[in-house]
Amino acid sequence: MTGRGQRPEEPRPITPPDPTLATRPVPQTRSYIARPFGPAATNDIQRTARSMTELEAEADPTTHPQGPENYYPSVDETRKLLKEVENWTFVEDDPTWGYYVFVTTYSDSAREKLPQALANWVKVVQKCLSIGTLPIYSDEAFRRFKFNVVEDRDALDAASVDRVREEFHAQIRGLRLGGSDNEDDDPRTSGFMPPARNQACLLLDEAAITMLANIDSLPDDAVEFCRIYNHKTVTVVDGFWNRSRQDPRETYRGVGQLAVAGLVGFYLNLTMDANADAMQDLHPIND
Looking at the domain assignment, is residue 230 inside a domain? Answer: yes
Model pLDDT, residue 3: 47
Looking at the domain assignment, is residue 6 inside a domain? Answer: no
Looking at the domain assignment, is residue 1 inside a domain? Answer: no
Residue type for position 228: I
Looking at the domain assignment, is residue 101 inside a domain? Answer: yes
Number of domains in the chain: 1
Looking at the domain assignment, is residue 219 inside a domain? Answer: yes
Tell me the residue ranges of DSSP E strands in 96-158: 97-103, 145-150
For the chain, what is the mean pLDDT?
90
Q: Which of 116, 286, 140, 129 is nearest to 216 (CA)?
A: 116
DSSP assigned state of 150: E
Looking at the domain assignment, is residue 21 inside a domain? Answer: no
Is a pLDDT exceeding 80 seen at residue 257?
yes
Looking at the domain assignment, is residue 26 inside a domain? Answer: no
Q: Which of 101, 110, 82, 127 is nearest to 37 (CA)?
A: 101
Stretch 227-244: mean pLDDT, rounded? Answer: 94
What CA–CA distance (Å, rounded) separates 50 from 55?
A: 7
DSSP symbols for 18-81: PTHHHHSPPPS------EEESHHHHS-HHHHPPPHHHHHHH--GGGSTT-GGG--GGG-HHHHH
Model pLDDT, residue 249: 82
CA angle 204, 207, 211 (to 5 degrees): 95
pTM value? 0.91
Stretch 97-117: mean pLDDT, rounded? Answer: 99
Model pLDDT, residue 15: 86
Is a pLDDT exceeding 50 seen at residue 260?
yes
Model pLDDT, residue 11: 64
Range of 47's domain? 32-281
Looking at the domain assignment, is residue 110 inside a domain? Answer: yes
Stretch 241-260: mean pLDDT, rounded? Answer: 89
What CA–CA distance (Å, rounded) separates 163 from 12?
A: 22
